[in-house]
Structure 1
Amino acid sequence: MTASQLKIDSSTDGVVLVSLAGDWTLQNSIPSPEGALSAAAAEKRRLAFETGALAEWDSALLIFLANLFALCRRDGIPVDQSGLPEGVRKLMALASPENQRSGVTHGSARPPFLERVANKAIGVVGGVKEVLSFIGEVTVAFGRMLRGKADFRRLDLALTLQETGAQALGIVTLISLLVGVILAFVAAIQLKMFGAQIYVADVVGIGIVRVMGAVMTGVIMSGRTGAAFAAQLGTMQVNEEIDALQTLGLSPIEYLVLPRMLALMLMMPLLCVYSDLMGVLGGMLVGVGLLNLGVLEYIAETQKALNLTHFLVGLTHCFVFGILVAVAGCLRGIQCDRSASAVGYAATSAVVTAIVSIVVATAIITLSCQVLGI
């Protein structure tokens, strides 16, 4: 092992040449960067490097250069890194302060208004293209699955079914029950004025089964499952696990996205039926406990108010919501940048995107049913 050597030549006008020779490894004693700094600081000269005699190097060289560059930034001394090995330059670029805070500008002037508008428009167009491309890839993956050619683990699908189904029953029970109670209270205030308390069963039954049960289930799954999907895939993106799958020849869409979308598409209608039951039960608690209605009377009125069409409309809502929640969560996870803060942003963005999509889809389906007379 050759000792690490540092030679400083300031004979060239305007340049202090730092020559590195020998082995710059942790096993050797590394020189201090103060000598090179003092020679350059004397006349504010530019630092340059010569590494023709450099042998082996490891993080010891990087630590030396990082300390030297930090001192040069402090004293305003320019540095020319072209003489360093390419691997060293890349590692130092990754460790530079400019790359430590992604998306944060330091003292840069605000761009003009038209430029900001143009950047926003370009970003929106790019986002739409990404969404359409993702939907197309998912559609192709579903087609391959129907032909029995999709490459994903059935165990992952089973685990995701459990996570999105059985493990969500607790929160769905609580929210749906309370929504049914709230609807019954709101209806009872008005109906008691006319002595028509029995029609609380109609209001709660139709409201829960047709729309509210599906909407509340979709919102719950957006915050619970959609955010989890985005965080899981975002963390895999940060850890470069998705890149590893592509390197191994596996499609991330089939291997990661397809099981999650299938699980939500299968479980959301079942959760919707369970949510409807809990919502009607919540309304019955109010009707029986506060409005002095009989249990059999309330159930009979609910049966009279509901029909198969209401159930089908509610199930249609929930099936669509399952697709939207899965697409939003997986898409934001795949789009996640490679930083810890980006994972949190992806989870937040997935929830917002899913809830907005659910509200828009609800409006579209409701208007369509109104037009069709359903």
Structure 2
Amino acid sequence: MPPNATDPGPQLHISRPQEDTLFVQFAGSWRMQDGLPATTELQPFLDAPVRRMVFDVQDVTAWDTGLLTFLRKVIQQNQQQQIETDQSGLPDGMRRLLALATAVPAREGAASSPKRTPLLARIGAQGICLWAASRDFIEFIGETCLAFLKLLRGQASFRWSDVLVYMQSSGSQALPIVSLISGLVGLILAFMGAIQLRQFGAQIFVADLVGIGMTREMGAIMTGIIMAGRTGAAFAAQLGTMQVNEEIDAYITLGISPIEFLVLPRMLALALMMPLLCVYADLVGILGGVVVATGMLDISLVEYFNKTQAAVRLIDFILGVVKGGIFGVLVAIAGCLRGMQCGRSAAAVGEAATSAVVTGIVLIIVTDGILAVVTDALGI
């Protein structure tokens, strides 16, 4: 019923027209904001034997769910005490609402805390997930290799204009962040080396430390990590959004391979640009070392570059460039794989981008460790 500002508060009148019958009459405004009485007010009248309770709400001027809740609690108490409840004095709408409230009882144990999964079951579930993820990764690598073979035969269906666009986005547009990170890495390497080498009067070897460290390892690793967080996540978000919009399904329906048309251009662009970015990162890192050498160690610019040229071999430079190309392929694979595996919701796109970054970084670190063992065994 609609509320009225002049309605009196909730009133409860209880009488016994018969010895075993309790007549409960409601009056006034029974809304939640009116401060409803508790059902315990009926308890003193139940001390004497009661077999039947009758409701009357004719004098109620306004009500909401507060009155329904009160009636529901009273009915539950009557059921527990085996007291018959007569609802004939209630309006039809109120009786239907009460019947609807009691139509679906709460399932036993629904509110209980879920059982803890046994340890072996959790290990087995994780093992199954790991096996499925490994299988999907191998299948994706196989499809990518087949697409690359079709490219070598000139049969791959993609546009070279897309490759140029991705080369620009993952190449020249990435120079600012690569410059910042590589310069700071070179500066930090030189600073850490200067603190230790200065104790032995061997400050000049800072050039060796920075030059070899940047060309063999840090240039390629830091560039790969930067591209994993920047370009790999972008690839995953782009392909994930296409999955949500069902664009990839449209390509498949038209007979166009998504691996060839979407994945291959991105992989080619990143594989071609990563070696160039590594060369640029090496140069910027060495310049960062120059700042520390000339500012803290009083080493002249000519002396520093002469020492760097003598320390860094061509094989060190080539090894770093090769690592950069491999890391570029891995970042592209991680980004495109997670994008193709994306679900059909907006949240899934964010999860795909996050997973692409984590997967790319893990692949870079693991691959770099493997290459370090291989190059050491080969004496490179």
Q: TM-score, normalised by structure 2?
A: 0.70
Match of residue 167, structure 1, among 151, 163, 173: 173
2: CA distance between counterparts of 1:197 and 1:344? 47
The aligned counterpart of 1:293 is 299
Q: How does 1:344-355 map to 2 (within 5 A)?
A: 344-355=350-361
Residue 219 of structure 1: how far off its partner (Å): 0.5
Q: Structure 1 residues 233, 76: closer, same or farther in 2, change over 3 A? A: farther
Deviates more, 1:333-342 or 1:114-123: 114-123
The one-letter amino acid of 1:243's match is: D
Match of residue 190, structure 1, among 196, 202, 213: 196
Q: Structure 1 residues 76, 300: closer, same or farther in 2, change over 3 A? A: farther
The aligned counterpart of 2:371 is 365
The one-letter amino acid of 1:118's match is: G
Q: TM-score, normalised by structure 1?
A: 0.71
The aligned counterpart of 1:209 is 215
1:320 equivalent to 2:330? Answer no
Residue 290 of structure 1: how far off its partner (Å): 1.6
Q: How does 1:42-53 map to 2 (within 5 A)?
A: none
> Which deviations, in whole Å up to 9, do the C-alpha atoms of 1:190-247 show, x marking residues without a partner?
1111111111101000000110010000000000000111111111111111001101
> Which deviations, in whole Å up to 9, do the C-alpha atoms of 1:76-117 show, x marking residues without a partner?
559xxxxxxxxxxxxxxxxxxxxxxxxxxx986554443332
Larger Rg over CA atoms: 2
Match of residue 267, structure 1, among 255, 266, 273: 273
SS of the residue aligned with 1:336? coil
The aligned counterpart of 2:286 is 280
Residue 307 of structure 1: how far off its partner (Å): 1.1
1: CA distance between counterparts of 2:222 and 2:154? 34
- Where does structure 2 lack aligned partners over 5 or more consecutive residues? 1-98, 106-111
Q: How does 1:103-252 map to 2 (within 5 A)?
A: 109-252=115-258
SS of the residue aligned with 2:291? helix
Deviates more, 1:107-116 or 1:299-308: 107-116
SS of the residue aligned with 2:185? helix
1: CA distance between counterparts of 2:215 and 2:268? 23
2: CA distance between counterparts of 1:247 and 1:129? 25
Q: Structure 1 residues 73, 187: closer, same or farther in 2, change over 3 A? A: farther
Residue 132 of structure 1: how far off its partner (Å): 0.6
The one-letter amino acid of 2:325's match is: F
2: CA distance between counterparts of 1:107 and 1:350? 34
Q: Structure 1 residues 249, 75: closer, same or farther in 2, change over 3 A? A: farther
The aligned counterpart of 1:30 is none
Residue 278 of structure 1: how far off its partner (Å): 0.2
Q: Structure 1 residues 370, 74: closer, same or farther in 2, change over 3 A? A: farther
Q: Structure 1 residues 75, 138: closer, same or farther in 2, change over 3 A? A: farther
% same residue = 58
RMSD across aligned positions (CA): 2.0
Deviates more, 1:109-118 or 1:260-269: 109-118
Q: Structure 1 residues 74, 243: closer, same or farther in 2, change over 3 A? A: farther
The one-letter amino acid of 1:188's match is: A
The one-letter amino acid of 2:231's match is: T
The aligned counterpart of 1:44 is none
SS of the residue aligned with 1:277? helix
2: CA distance between counterparts of 1:244 and 1:75? 49
The one-letter amino acid of 1:142's match is: F
The aligned counterpart of 2:7 is none
Q: Structure 1 residues 167, 254: closer, same or farther in 2, change over 3 A? A: same
Aligned pairs, number: 277
The aligned counterpart of 2:310 is 304
Q: Structure 1 residues 108, 244: closer, same or farther in 2, change over 3 A? A: farther
The aligned counterpart of 1:338 is 344
- Where does structure 1 lack aligned partners over 5 or more consecutive residues? 1-71, 79-105
SS of the residue aligned with 2:183? helix
SS of the residue aligned with 2:157? coil
